[in-house]
Amino acid sequence: MTTSPRPFAAAAPAAGSRILGTGHHRPERVMTNADLEQLVETSDEWIRQRTGIEERRIAADGVDVGDLAAIAGHHALADAGVDASEVTQVIVATCTNQERSPSAAGRVAQQLGIPAPAAFDVGAACSGFEHALAVADMSIRSGASTTTLVIGAEKLSAVTDYTDRTTCILTADGAGAMVLRAADEPGIAPVVWGTVPELADAVTINGEQPAFAQQGRQVLGWALREAPVISQRIVDAAGLTMEDIDVFVPHQANLRMIEPLAAALGLREDAIVADDIITSGNTSAATIPLAISRLREAGRIPAGATALLVGFGGGFSWAGQVVRLP
């Protein structure tokens, strides 16, 4: 004789989550285009014309991804007015954590004194932060977390070949963070995400001495052709139109990619398009939260602005969502 199984208890769900605060960290060392001229055959003019980058930040020896992430997380908690003891989940998006274990998120919890959170990393390279943000939002909606610290952090200098002028001019180090909390009204729209399997090897970090490599023309071609379509899908998923977007924050891969992408979307004339890559370089999973935090710090984003986030790159993965900024 069989009996019906007893139903599982369910966590109390939330209507949604909202962003309470943001923070970022850029290492002190500045590497200019002139500095790169001393390392590889290139020039300031060549770099600016092809990437828009003028300088980038490089972390010191002995500073790892967890260190960068923890500083950005500390600033985000301060901006949100949230104590570390209130955090129930830490997620770090990264593809350059030097340790296999513990996770960078575990190091963040350790350094910030966060007591017993769920802590794990998300490895989706340049779209990693958008993946992590979606997981954090879903965790809060399901009742699995109440307050989540989400961070994108990279030390790409550790995997950069400074004899390859096509890649070393791009890469940099840094971190950006957001604090999410349960809310009665959703502040993060549904994620739209996916992969492009045939481009899996277009952006890689591999080898015995791991080095960043990419097929730049393939990535650029995909971004110009497909990213506008994906961006529209993301806005549609939020139930909005491009007219509703106040801030457009794509992955800061290359300014010469960002400019035509923004033009293709038909954004309002007064919409802000993030261009943090000019002085921060390409920091992979950190680019989007880093750009948002710096825009807010500079007072360039109005309170409660609606932002479109779109990340794409290694894997070849892509993801994005529309969010309400603090």
**CB 179, CB 20: distance < 8 Å:** yes
Q: Is 168 labeled as catalytic in the residue annotation?
A: no
Residue 263: what pLDDT?
96
- Residue among 33, 97, 254, 282 flagged as catalytic: 282
Residue 302: what pLDDT?
92
What CATH superfamily is the domain 192-325? Answer: Thiolase/Chalcone synthase (3.40.47.10)
- Residue among 126, 131, 168, 254 flagged as catalytic: 126
Q: Which two tokens stand for residue 187?
A: 């502040």
CB neighbour class for 212 (10 Å; exposed up to 12, middle 13-18, buried from 19)? buried
**CB 90, CB 74: distance < 8 Å:** no
**Fold match between 16-183 and 192-325?**
yes
**Regions of the chain where pLDDT drops below 50:** none
Helix (H) or strand (E) holding 150: strand 147-155
pLDDT, tens digit (0-9, with 9 covering 90-100), for 11-44: 889 999 999 999 999 999 999 999 999 999 999 9
Cβ atoms within 10 Å of 12's Cβ, excluding its own: 8
- Residue among 95, 131, 251, 254 flagged as catalytic: 251
pLDDT, tens digit (0-9, with 9 covering 90-100), for 102-147: 999 999 999 999 999 999 999 999 999 999 999 999 999 999 999 9
Residue 207: what pLDDT?
78
Q: Is 95 labeled as catalytic in the residue annotation?
A: no
Please tell me whether the peptide bond between 316 and the residue prior to it is cis, using omega within 30 degrees of 0. Answer: yes
Token pair 């901006």 is at which residue? 79
Q: Would you call 132 helix, strand, or coil by DSSP?
A: helix
CATH fold group of domain 16-183: Peroxisomal Thiolase; Chain A, domain 1 (3.40.47)
Query: Checking DSSP bridges between strand 147-155 and strand 89-93, what pairing results, if any?
Result: parallel
Domain locations in the chain as residue ranges: 16-183, 192-325
Q: Which two tokens stand for residue 146?
A: 């109440």
Q: Which two tokens stand for residue 243?
A: 């007219």
Q: Is 282 labeled as catalytic in the residue annotation?
A: yes
Residue 242: what pLDDT?
98
